[in-house]
Amino acid sequence: MSNSYYCIPHPPLPLMPMKTLKKTLADLLHQDAALRCVLLAVGMLSGCQLEPTTEYLPLPPPPTAALPPAATSEQRPKLAGIAAHKFSIAKDRRIVGRLAVIRTQDGDTLSDIARHFGLGYHEITLANPDIRPWTPKAGQRVLLPLRFILPDAPRKGIVLNLANMRMFYFPPKQPDVMFTYPLGIGREGWNTPLGQTTIVAKKANPAWAPPESIRREHAAKGDPLPAVVPPGPNNPLGKYALSLGFNSYLIHGTNKPYGVGMQVSHGCVRLYPEDIKALFKKTAVGMPVRMVHQPYMTAWVGDRLYLEAHQPLQKWAGQKQRLQKSLLKQLRQAAAEKGVTVDWEKVDRTLQRADGIPTPILAASLDVPELAAKAPEVQHPVHFYGQPVVPELTGSDWAILVADFHNAAVAQQLAAMLTHQGPPIPARKVEKDGTYQVIAGPFKNKREAELIAHRIRMDFEMDAKPLPPGTVALPQENASTQ
């Protein structure tokens, strides 16, 4: 399998001709709307496997809005933590976990919150559609959708439900325990396959051999790739890889963890670095792996019936009507057998919302807003797991001017995106002469600054300019110390 590491984490997104894009960027220089075009450029260039995932950033950002206020009939203590990966399961139980909320603090992003609590980007943004993913306001209540319905599949080995981009692992010697992890999967045109296979090989610190087509693309851009990318921070496979019986498909880590929870690969399955490390230790060659696509799942909890709905992936979008018709038939049969009344309007809302949150659908049951209002609050950690820390920028450091905008929120959004790349590019927003610059750094020397500026130009099609020591406008929090 040494030549089959062909999974491509960040495929191209053909949005507009490059000439048109460059002209549009030039026309919008120093305007807030330029960031939209920056994202288009990143999408077009993101087929290079060593580049960041940024096409998932929704622009323009939605208006901010908080979850319903917490129930005030009683004061609930904050939870120190909540189960996110490991759950106990009974033989006939198909739903695990619970909803919770956390209040944001300055500098938080939904991506940081998601990773800390074992969620993917898609999961947390769908559950919080009115919160800006990269620049939430301090004090907003973020819903943590940590309740999951298990897919309809044998509880053996690894089961991946592509519809909700989540893995369920059933340890062979622990029938009452289940582990679950968020996934990044193949994009449209490079879909992760369905079916039954096995783990055929395990590799720590894998090398990556870029396909010849990708090497030609990079060479044409003036950014050549080596024949083999060795283990290290630039390797898109991360530190661990599980080879599958499906030819050229892997379950692997990533050097771009904030792409987990999206359709961004050329078919391989990626996990957060900490999750693949844990899974790598638990699994063995020969373990079964089943990949399914189940966008609609139901489960009973006592006398309550839950429905979890997702939008079918694009490859199966044509089956949506048939899948929903089958679901409705199943619900009618369940209602008749149990002698209960289904709230069909709630079923319709749940299907329309398709946010992946298991929702009670019987008459007089609570809907998601009420469930969110009653959800317990989790204590905010001192630092989210893996959250990037931007080093202080001093007058003796090299830096990079990435862009400037009239809108502070847009500048902060781009700075957060850069900081969450893989490998990260430390960046911050700096106010200067009525505009807001995005400054990357610090860098040790001119060579390092030039390499990162080149990477930004390749990834974003932005004219990033290295700044020698003493020429950058320092952030206000640093200026007083200089």
> Catalytic residue numbers?
252, 268
Tell me how crowded residue 145 is: count the other CB atoms within 10 A of its CB: 25
CA 31 to chain centre: 28
Interaxial angle between packed helices 34-45 and 18-27, expressed in degrees from 0 to 180 and rounded to the nearest 10: 160
Structure token pair of residue 433: 């002469």
Alpha helices (runs of H) in 88-220, residue ranges in sequence order = 110-116, 121-127, 212-220
Instruction: From residue 327, give the alpha-carbon distance in Å to each of 154, 205, 215, 223.
Output: 20, 44, 46, 50
Residues with Cβ within 8 Å of residue 434, at least 6 apart in sequence: 406
DSSP 403-427: EEES-HHHHHHHHHHHHTSSS---E
Name the residue type at position 213. S
Whether 304 contacts 362, CB under 8 Å: yes
Residues 6+ apart with CB under 8 A from 321: none
Burial-class residue 73 by CB neighbours within 10 Å (0-12, 13-18, 19+): exposed
Q: Are 438 and 418 in contact (CB under 8 A)?
A: yes
